[in-house]
Homo-oligomer: A and B are copies of this chain.
Amino acid sequence: MKIELLNTGSELLLGTTMNTHAAWIGGRLLQIGLRVSRQTTVPDGEPIREALAEAIARADVVIVTGGLGPTSDDLTREAAAGLLGIELITDEAALRSLEAFFAHRGRPMADANLKQALVPVGADVLPNPHGTAPGIYIPPRMTAGHGCAVFLLPGPPRELQPMFHEEVMPRLRALAGGTKPPEMKVLRFTGIGESDFHQGVDATLAAIPGLEVGYCARIAELDLRLIGPPQAVLAGTEAVLGAFRARCFSEEGRDLEETMVRMLAERKFTLATAESCTGGMIAHRITNVPGASAVFAHGFVTYSNEAKTALLGVPQDTLASHGAVSAEVVRAMAAGALRNAGADIAVAVSGIAGPTGGSPDKPVGTAWIGLATRDGHHHETKVFQPRGRRDFKLAVSQAALDEIRKTLSP
């Protein structure tokens, strides 16, 4: 089944808004064994007509996002109806729901909004509880000569995503009939690069019949995607883990912070953080995980030497003789955080994010990570991440979370 995605919206082409629909919808489709064969973005207004005609001529299913708003530039429903020769009429239920939307907010409905209740005769109206424009489904029997199913969906993700789950997925499943989703497994790694995989397992993976292998490299993180028949995915997983098990932090597609919070929770350990160069990012990532409060209560952001001394008890001597970016200072930071928080494990980081502050000895990108546990163990690691400020913070926070993971690993 050939599926095309057509995104309308000038903002997607002007550099102000990222098109998140393509990846989001692609991910949902893959779950039911379907793929997008082509994705197109056009600006608001007339260009939708040509692009939609081409997509309907090529595909079995066309999913359009955007262009259902009240302004004169919102032409999606008019273009679809015009192309397929179907009349637009006001759908009474859609009109009532529009009126209710405005009444609920105590605002008058503008005349312009009336056109949002227009629907091609015979099409399904897809309710939109989160916005004004309902979605529209035109089944294949209505696209005479093309046999193409057409979905018209609102542009805002908070409106589109629930509608996609409720209304689009069931219809796609029905259209796909017995298409069986392939097995997909995403293994996530840190501290290792794509070239390591190429050298280590590419040949082995290539020899597994039916296995499709994909890599996705992010900052300090690499996803390996295996798609294919269950046996091929199993064989691929074993080959990859055989070579790189210690670097794999999730076999279920989880984030490193989630993996780490689960490991702490299983052992009923509490964690404290002491951050200099990451400036709160480690704490922020940990508290993104639901349930983090069971394992994390105390975080210190000590950006200056004075703060390291005042909040963590790092001796001024240590700072003066070794510098803030040193094994000795992260060791003292971790010990201070452990003590002041009464935690089981503490992690501390200090580094040079740049753009200034580097030296020949300790260039921008240098960071030390310290780990301390209640039973007196400590461990310091030096990392070097010569990236821009934000990516540096992300890479160092990743290395710090991974140090905790390794400490907790059996």
Contact = CB atoms under 8 A, between A and B. Distances in A.
Interface stretch (A22-30, A133-141, A228-236, A401-409): A22-30
Interface string A24-40: 11111110000111111
Given A12-B22, A26-B14, A299-B280, A311 B340 contact: yes
Contacts of A20: 18
B301 A301 contact: yes
A35 B37 CA distance: 25
Candidate in A279, A300, A310, A390 with the most chain B CB atoms within 10 angstroms: A279
Given A26-B13, A39-B41, A307-B341, A279 B284 contact: yes
How many subunits of this chain does the assembly comprise? 2
A281 B279 contact: no
A40 B47 CA distance: 13
A341 B51 CA distance: 59
A287 interface: yes
A38 B18 contact: no
Nearest to A280: B283
A267 B10 CA distance: 40
A301 B284 CA distance: 9
- Range, interface on chain A: 35 or more
Interface in A242-297: 273, 275, 278-284, 286-288, 290, 292-293, 296-297
A107 interface: yes
A280 B290 contact: no
A288 B390 contact: yes
A49 to B, nearest CB: 13
A216 B11 contact: yes
Given A279-B284, A280-B280, A300-B301, A27 B40 contact: no
A358 B300 CA distance: 27
A19 interface: yes
27 contacts: A12-B22, A12-B39, A13-B36, A13-B37, A13-B39, A14-B26, A14-B27, A14-B35, A15-B30, A18-B18, A19-B23, A37-B42, A38-B42, A279-B286, A279-B296, A280-B286, A283-B283, A288-B390, A290-B389, A297-B306, A298-B307, A298-B311, A299-B299, A300-B311, A307-B341, A310-B340, A311-B340
